Amino acid sequence: MRMILWSLFALAMLLWTGTALIAVHFVDWTVLTFGNTLPTGQELGAVAEAIPLPAWLAVWVDPAWAQIFQAGFGDFIEIVSQSTPFLASAISWLSPLIWAIWGLGALVLLIVAILGHWFLGTLKKPA
């Protein structure tokens, strides 16, 4: 039973670490792509509205509805762009913050695994 517990712990740590790695690589890609100045919301909104509907999706979704959705998404991006100055200044410390959150999560997973190990040890084995 303890082997299953520690195997689940290892799997959870693998998934947790993979998620942190993907997040850090996404932040690094954003920095390499945009630098310390993120594009404005109007630029991103225009790009989001100009993305063409794939041919395979046009069979399943009405193009007029997709155009309304794209326009709404572009407007949403323009509204969210008000936080762009904060994100541009925060981008330098996002990677360390992600790893700090990873460390706290890893600690919680380890504590849960240790408590489970202890609990399994307290159970009496049947005679």
> What pLDDT sits at residue 39?
58
pLDDT digits (tens, 9 = 90+) for 57-70: 778 888 788 888 88
Please, what's the largest Cα pairwise distance for the chain? Answer: 72
Predicted structure pTM score: 0.59
Contact 48, 74 (CB under 8 A): yes
> What pLDDT sits at residue 63?
79
> What pLDDT sits at residue 28?
80
Q: How far apart are CA 24 and CA 99, in angstroms?
A: 8
Q: How far apart are CA 37 and CA 46, in angstroms?
A: 18
Dihedral class, residue 55 (left if φ above 0, else alpha if ψ from -120 to 50, else beta): alpha
Instruction: From 96, 84, 82, 99, select the one nearest 36 (Cα to Cα).
Output: 84
pLDDT in tens, the chain (127 residues): 889 999 999 999 999 999 999 998 888 877 776 665 655 555 666 666 676 777 777 788 887 888 888 888 777 777 766 666 666 667 778 889 999 999 999 999 999 999 999 999 898 776 6
